Amino acid sequence: MVESLSTINNKLNMTYRIAVADFSHETLTFCPEPTDLKAWEEGTIKYGPETLNTEGEGQTYISGFKDAFENEEDFELVGILDAGWPKTTGYGSWVSTEAFDVITGRITSRLGELRQVDGVYLSLHGAMAVTNVPRPEAEIVRRVRKVVGDVPIMVTFDLHANEDIEMAHAADAVFVLKTYPHLDSHIIGRKAGECMIKTLRGEFKPTMAYRKPKVVSASVFQASEFPPMKHVYDRCREWEKKGVFCASVAPGFAYADVPDLGASVFVVTNDDHELAEECAQDIHDLIWSLREELTRKLPGAKDGVAQVLDMIKKGTKPITIAYHDERLGDGTHVLRELLDQSAENWCDTCLADPTALYEMNEKNKVGDTVEYTMGAWLHEISGKPVKVKGKIEYLGPLEWIETGPMGRGAERIIDLVAMLDLGKNRHLVVTERLYAPMSADPLKVMGLDMDSLDIVVLKSRVHHKAWWDTWSTVDFPVDPPGLGPANLGLLEYTHLAWDLYPIGEKYRK
């Protein structure tokens, strides 16, 4: 890295100015709702210094990055922008070119206004898919680079990132979290911060190696504490003990039809090219060797619920059912089976139906008995609407402070939610949007007696396990029709690499 004039100036002034921005999305391109500028504006975008205000958010990438600078008086952090999750009912589909250009433009124009920038930290997700922009995160880094010049740009990613060589060329150092459920965003943000500090002081020369194992896997098989991914993250930590600064693996986000789909490996060392290359190749080879374990079959709703009821009859309970491939919120496949198979003592924690919810809120109150035909309105894959009759046991906004490991300490608010008592200790939570409780906290606030339940249904893949595995005896993933299936062969991709295992053209029979 050639030192820029501003870096040299800065050293004389003894203050380094680091810009911080976040622009993140996990785009499920098979979903029906586009993620346009309106959706982003209706979500949360923070500007300027607010970017660095992480109070009430629990531990985040940015809180970790800030942490690294706590006792470093010769550094100044400057918040630029934080665009997190836009507002869509379920997962948002393609981010519009306009939204991407406008939000990236807000980042670059603010950077341009700063007279001096010595380094940039970009907290990105990695699975953004943008119309007409094939590799959006690399493009963000390039546009930022154009404004700030040759200063260190450090990037952190969620492990669901789909990245390739363009990112390896664009950024000075890439760091990916290592846990799924994601519990180390703070740690990986801090790592990026430490790298920034040492690099600007001339104590560290970020040297990166990159590999792309041609493997893609469903999220439900990527839990970091279980094989096969546990082997991969253990190996990363072994290399870090052998002198690698950070060995990162993103297994990727399978549900985006993008050319850089699939796993990627980024290794950062201090000026040791050989070590970086050796580590990256080793991890690449390990992932390739695990490719078959990263794919298996799961039961559908009917079979799955029947198996769960059988386990309960034999005394194995309580059980969480992970309706893992439901990415819209309106899916009814599991609810229908619970009703049809006369299951009792359960709570289905999300049926997104804003129309029914708003009507209930307008016309009814807690204690009323209501009858609605709900769900399956957003997409035909969600099933058929279900007729439910029950007593409203909760209706209104919901607030709590998260005590589970996912987002511990964060202040959570849901604008409007209802819980219906369907009799026989059966409960249905009706929401505006796709939602999965990361612990029983919100359910308890609504008055649910967790000890009385045999089954909790969660529209989640792995994140819920961080807390729900402490509640349930078995976590049981089911795979009814949905937009995030375990069998990736069910989706129609058009932008894939031909040799991507197991769905590239090379492997299609």
Q: Is 103 helix (H, G, I), strand (E, B) or coil?
A: helix
Nearest residue by C-beta to Zn ion?
Answer: 160
**Minimum CB distance to Zn ion smaller for 158 or for 272:** 158
Amino acid identity for residue 69 in this structure: F
Which burial class, exposed, middle or buried, applies to 280 when counting CB atoms under 10 A from its CB (0-12, 13-18, 19+)? Answer: buried
Q: How far is CA 365 from CA 214, 370, 391, 416, 461, in A?
A: 54, 10, 10, 13, 33
Shortest spacing between CB 67 and Zn ion, in angstroms: 21
Using only C-alpha atoms, what is the Rg of the chain?
Answer: 23
Are the beta carbons of 110 and 81 closer than 8 angstroms? yes
> From the CB of 26, what's the least distance to Zn ion, in Å?
6
Other beta carbons within 10 Å of 505: 11
Amino acid at 177: L
- Are 308 and 453 contacting, i.e. CB atoms less than 8 angstroms apart? no
- 139 vs 158 by CB, closer to Zn ion: 158
Contact call for residues 96 and 37 (beta carbons, < 8 A): yes
For the chain, counts of helices (H) and of strands (E): 14, 17
Buried b (16+ CB within 10 A) or exposed e, 224-239: beeebbeebbebbeeb
Minimum separation from the CB atom of position 326 to Zn ion (A): 16
By C-beta, is 125 or 333 nearer to Zn ion?
Answer: 125
Minimal distance in Å, beta carbon 159 to Zn ion?
6
Choose between 160 and 379: whose C-beta lies nearer to Zn ion. 160
CB of 76 to Zn ion, least distance (A): 31
Q: Smallest gap, in angstroms, from Cβ of residue 105 to Zn ion? A: 26
For residues 56 and 411, the answer to whether their CB atoms sit within 8 Å is: yes
H runs (alpha helix) in 293-365:
301-313, 333-340, 354-363
- The nearer residue to Zn ion, 126 or 502, going by C-beta atoms, is 126
- Name the token pair of 126: 């990695």
- 179 vs 349, which CB is nearer to Zn ion? 179
Whose Cβ is closer to Zn ion: residue 61's or residue 372's?
61
Q: Which positions touch Zn ion (CB under 5 A)?
A: 158, 160
Give min distance, CB of 126 to Zn ion, in A. Answer: 9
Closer CB to Zn ion, residue 160 or residue 465? 160
Phi-psi region of 241 (alpha: psi -120 to 50; beta: other; left: phi over 0): alpha
Q: Whole-number minimum distance, CB 223 to Zn ion, in Å?
A: 11
Q: Is 187 exposed, middle or buried (0-12, 13-18, 19+ CB in 10 A)?
A: middle
